[in-house]
Structure 1
């Protein structure tokens, strides 16, 4: 995952790619750091999704930009529009099911 460190970088990343997934976490969050490897492993099956990681400690304005109240947050954008949001407690099987439907509709 690419690390993004400003709102400008985030906006450019979303606008540049057709399928974008943002993983937003906070330093010191055990849930965030435990979930990240699972998400990265899952995304290996979805090569057309561009991924980025954002630490709220480094980009505090990200919370306001995306209306985030708890971390971790996974956001999937399709052509710049938010299509999927998972936050705090992410059930990986349900997340994969939703992601797979969206991905198949976009990629075929």
Structure 2
């Protein structure tokens, strides 16, 4: 999972990537630390990239996305947020939405 360190990096990623997953964490968040390995492990099963950002280090991003808690898992397609999971992330629901996202990407490529 690649790390985002600045708001400019975020803007560049959003404008240049067709689809991706964004994992948002913050400092001293035990839920974030517990969820991260589960989400990161899914990266091997999907063709789109996964990114991670610490909202405490890039507060502009948290403000832009309207994030008020952590962790948050966001799925993006064509510069638009397609799914948001905050705090408690049901892995079955997340993987179902990730499957949908991957199918959308394949359909556009055909």
Q: Please give the range of the TM-score, normalised by the shorter of the 2 chains.
A: over 0.9
Matched, 1:104 2:99: no
RMSD between aligned residues = 1.1
Which aligned pairs between 1:39-50 and structure 2 lie closer than 5 A? 39-47=39-47, 49-50=48-49
Write the distance in 2 (CA, Å) between the matches of 1:22 and 1:8.
Answer: 15
TM-score where L is the length of structure 1:
0.92
Following superposition, which runs of at least 4 residues in structure 1 exceed 4 angstroms of deviation?
Answer: none
TM-score where L is the length of structure 2:
0.90
- Tell me how many residue pairs correspond in the alignment: 107
Write the distance in 1 (CA, Å) between the matches of 2:53 and 2:20.
Answer: 13
Q: SS of the counterpart of 2:74?
A: strand
Q: SS of the counterpart of 2:59?
A: coil
Q: CA deviation at 1:105?
A: 2.4
Q: CA deviation at 1:85?
A: 0.8
Tell me what 1:3 maps to. 3
Tell me what 2:91 maps to. 92
Write the distance in 2 (CA, Å) between the matches of 1:94 and 1:13.
Answer: 25
Write the distance in 1 (CA, Å) between the matches of 2:100 and 2:77.
Answer: 12
Higher helix share: 2
Tell me what 1:78 maps to. 77
